[in-house]
Structure 1
Amino acid sequence: MENILKDVRLEYVSRACHLDTELLQSAQEGKRVDDSLKKRAGEISARRGEEQAEADALFLCEELRRRPVEASFPYREPETPEEIMAMFPGSAPPVFTERQLYDRILGAWLGRAAGCLLGQPVESWDRERILGFLKASGNYPIAGYLSSDVDEDVRKRYDVKDEPGAYGNKKVSWVNNITCAPEDDDMNYTVMGLGILENYGKDFTPMDVAEYLTLNVPVFMTCTAERIAYKNILNGILPPRSASYGNPYREWLGAQIRVDAYAYVNPGNPRAAAAMAVRDASVTHTKNGIYGAAFCAALIAESAVCQNAREAIDRALAYVPGGSRLYEALTEFLKLCDSTGEPEEMIRWIHGRYDEKNLHDWCHVIPNDMIICLALLYGGEDFSRVIGLAVEAGFDTDCNGATAGSAFGMMYGTAAIPEKWTKPLNGKLMTRIGCLGRTEFTSLADRCVKLAGK
């Protein structure tokens, strides 16, 4: 087995490696990033790997954090959980029969797992490579899971590999390499949310999230913002500062992939789901990173009671601060979708504004939330098309496939998810969260139903 500790695993705890991301993030937050700062950042990054370079990088990150937002910045973005939640509208939770509740929640778990598995093998591929592989393997538009069992010339042309896998999996999670839903951070975090609720109750605090994270999630099973926050917590830098201290990934999508369980136990109650999402997200993210978490939690919770995706999306937007960059971007995008019949045109529009080959754009909440909305809007009642679009669009494929699949499953239930997507999962998920190992989706759904009834 190849040892990737130094070259891969430690990269996202190194501030010197990603100072370019910090400069982009700070500028997008309305802070002045001048040429002298860029020069200093370049000099520090050139010394990456040196102990002093890490100290200098952290000093620069903190200098940027303390800089005021320019007076001309057109957005108003609350940062504390209390300020964000104070803007939420009220919601009255509906009444479900236990059978209805179980079917919606199980559908959400299965939809999330299927969307995640579909996107996992091509996570980090750019769209050109994804589409090329899909067409060469006869799976475009996407009609089923992706397989590495393709002609040798296709394998060579698109650098298809079976090893090593991610997140402790021995092999890459092509459908021909799995025996259940494989371990992945998107699925681990959903189990983590359930564990937080069971251990601390629905009124859990950010400190509870920090404790559960560091007790139950191996550090290298986290990525980007979570890994930096984890490091901060171990060094005694606790929430809320754990989210901002030397953390250039604070508006990436890590928080929004942690919120599904909060929606599962609050179906039709977006206010409660979004409030839980905000408290969780504030441990690792700030501003739009938190808003994305609130939006996704509200979207999935609303999906339990809405008639279609557009209704759920519109209602979920009420939980995103109206003066934020995320709100402006999504409302502009949705308006364009109203007059555009073809998803491909809107995918090109996203790619024209965000560069998936730039790590910051690739993982930022804004383009990825656009893709989630696009998949649900244009996929409609066709599960295959929903998760297919989420992956065909590029950017963070497994995260977007998982969230779109989760919302679909919550809206339409298990019967709307074709067997070709559920059968390869064999009813089980692999996760090391809570030392579960292989656990059944029916058991996870039962646990959520029990919490939803409290």
Structure 2
Amino acid sequence: MTLDDIAAPGPADRIHGGWLGRIAGNMLGKPVEQGEVWTRERIDRYLRRAGALPLTDYLPAPPDDGGAGAPLRPEWPECVRGRIHGSCRDDDIDYAVLGLDLLETHGFGFSTEQVGELWLTRLPYLQTFTAERAAYRNLAGGLRPPLTATCGNPYQEWIGALIRADIHGWTRPGDPGRAALQARRDAVLSHTGNGVYGAMWAAALISAAFTAPGPRHALDRSLTVIPASSRLARTVRRVASLHEAGVAWEDTLTTLAAETAGLGWIHIVPNAAVLTAGLLYGDGDFTRTIALTVRGGLDTDSNGATAGSVAGVLCGAAAIPRQWTEPLRDTVRSAVFGFDGVRISALAERTLRLAQAGA
């Protein structure tokens, strides 16, 4: 189903769609979340062998003969088609939940220090990774922002801040500038440079999706909140130019992989290329968007989650095909204290109240 097939959804349906899309996209990408092993080519070989191309549902279980080609993530039994009974726990969802708690607790005027305090109070240390773990360790050691982001942290431009940005887009619908400023206050706890720009870009992208007629318009608006000369902005524009020129999705990703070589599979820049390509070549179709994004490789669960959030806001919850939403059973597993087992619909309702309060 595309945007042309349905009436424009309202804010409540779009926010609910964002939550559902984020969780579904995360679950789709989770089994192959190891970019140096699960390359784009290997993912497609796996899907082709299982008869799952085109990809229109969650990943199939690995074959009994051990022919998967590489081990899936340990969580795969909870994330493959036919075995999903509610969402599995993941940091990509934990940070959306934690962001909701942040805004409910401290309001839109929250400080970076309050973000850190909430991490220490609500989030277990061993459920943090890369830049977030470094920042958590620095917080526990008594450092304050911005030193929490720069001391002993080689991951400052990785994807972690981007995965925390959705709540700022959902609660500032149609206002990318304010969404980006909120995301920046969150991001500087653990990131610098393109790592911070990634969070601002994602928040603005999700915010813009509430009023944009399609993904290209949302992407164009999102680029207005970050420096045009940044590598992140240049990479997003590069993908858009190749798409506009009629270059095939596969060839676009091959070109960008060469141009971003050496940055690593969790760095924000190559992942932004995969995410942008998924959104543009998905062209507003929810299933195609998250499928192409995950098939693009790299940090598959994070990219799938953000692509699902944008696509879910664009089309609304009611338009997301049921094969993605029904297995979730309206339930979130979370490591955030006090939120495990909460209803997805309840999270969406609480987010809507914040969006209305901030209007």
* TM-score category (smaller protein): over 0.9
CA contact (8 A) 2:78 2:88 kept: no
Alignment partner for residue 152 of structure 1, among 54, 60, 64? 64
Q: When the two structures are superposed, what TM-score results if normalisation uses the length of structure 1? A: 0.74
- Is residue 94–residue 334 contact of structure 2 (8 Å, CA) maintained in 1? yes
Gaps in structure 1 of 5+ consecutive residues: 1-98
Matching residue within 215, 240, 243 for 2:146: 240
Residue 103 and residue 157 in structure 1: after superposition, are their counterparts in 2 closer, same or farther (change >3 A)? closer
Tell me which of 49, 64, 80 is aligned to 1:136.
49
1:245: Cα distance to partner? 0.8
Write the distance in 2 (CA, Å) between the matches of 1:157 and 1:405. 25
Give the Cα–Cα distance (whole angstroms) in 2 for the partners of residues 439 and 375 of structure 1.
29
Instruction: Map 1:247-286 to 2 at 5 A.
Output: 247-286=153-192
2:342 is paired with a residue whose SS is strand
Does residue 1:213 correspond to 2:126, yes or no?
A: no
Question: How far apart are the structure 1 equivalents of 2:300 and 2:353?
Answer: 31
Q: State how far apart, in whole Å, the 2-side matches of 1:127 and 1:332 are.
A: 19
**Which residue of the partner structure matches residue 334 of structure 1?**
240
Which residue of 299, 318, 329 maps to 1:415?
Answer: 318
1:341 CA displacement: 4.2
1:160 Cα deviation (Å)?
4.4
Alignment equivalent of 2:288, drawn from 385, 408, 413? 385
Deviation (angstroms), 1:269: 1.1
Q: Distance in 2 between matches of 1:157 and 1:383?
A: 26
User: 1-side partners of 2:215 and 2:230: how far apart?
Assistant: 22
Contact 1:294 1:319 in 2 (8 A): yes
Q: Which residue of 2 is the match for residue 102 of structure 1?
A: 12
Letter in 2 for 1:133: Y
Q: CA deviation at 1:423?
A: 1.0
* Equivalence for 2:278: 375
- Aligned to 2:224, the other structure's residue is in SS state helix
Seen in structure 2, the aligned counterparts of structure 1 residues 336 and 440 have a Cα distance that, compared at 3 Å, is same
Pairwise CA distance, 1:371? 1.3
Give the secondary-structure state (helix, strand or coil) at the position aligned to 2:177.
helix
Alpha-carbon displacement from aligned partner over 1:332-359 (angstroms, at most 9, x marks no partner): 232222102421111111222234xx6x
| Partner in structure 2 of residue 309 of structure 1 | 215
2: CA distance between counterparts of 1:340 and 1:371? 17
**Is 1:435 aligned with 2:341?**
no
Q: Hey, what's the Cα distance between the residues in 2 that align with 1:160 and 1:136? A: 15
After TM superposition, give the deviation of residue 234 of structure 1 in Å. 0.7
Aligned to 2:6: none
2:27 aligned residue (102, 117, 141): 117
C-alpha distance in structure 1 between counterparts of 2:78 and 2:324, whole Å: 18
CA contact (8 A) 1:164 1:172 kept: no
Q: Find the aligned partners of 1:151 and 1:313 in 2 and give their Cα distance.
A: 38
Deviation at 1:452, TM superposition (A): 0.9
CA distance in 2, matches of 1:323, 1:415: 39
- Separation of aligned partners in 2, 1:110 and 1:352: 33
Displacement over 6 Å in runs of 4+: none
1:351 counterpart SS class: helix
CA distance in 2, matches of 1:204, 1:289: 20
Mapped partners of 1:128, 1:430: distance in 2:
31
Structure 2, unaligned runs of 5 or more: 1-8
CA contact (8 A) 1:186 1:402 kept: yes
SS of the equivalent of 1:437 reads coil
Among candidates 309, 317, 342, match of residue 406 of structure 1: 309
> Who is 1:295 aligned against?
201
CA displacement 1:298-350 (0-9 Å, x = unmatched)? 00000000001100000100011122221222222322221024211111112
Select the structure of larger CA radius of gyration: 1
CA distance in 1, matches of 2:81, 2:161: 27
Give the equivalent residue in structure 2 for 1:179.
85
Separation of aligned partners in 2, 1:222 and 1:130: 26
Task: Give the conservation status (yes or no) of the 8 Å contact 2:240–2:280.
Answer: no
In the TM superposition, what is the alpha-carbon distance from 1:215 to its structure 2 partner? 1.1
8 Å Cα contact 1:195-1:434 kept in structure 2: no
Greater relative contact order (CA < 8 Å, ≥ 6 in sequence): 2
Output the TM-score relative to the length of structure 2: 0.92
Counterpart of 1:158, as a letter, is G
Once the two structures are TM-superposed, the CA of residue 433 in structure 1 deviates from its matched residue by 1.2
1:177 CA drift (Å): 3.7
Deviation readout 1:239-282 (Å, 9 max, x if unpaired): 11100111110000100000101111111111111111000000
Whole-Å separation in 1 of the counterparts to 2:12 and 2:238: 36
3-state secondary structure, aligned to 1:335 = helix
Q: Is the 8 A contact 1:300 1:410 kept in 2?
A: yes
| Cα deviations by residue, 1:379-399 (Å, 9 ceiling, x for unpaired) | 112211100000111111011
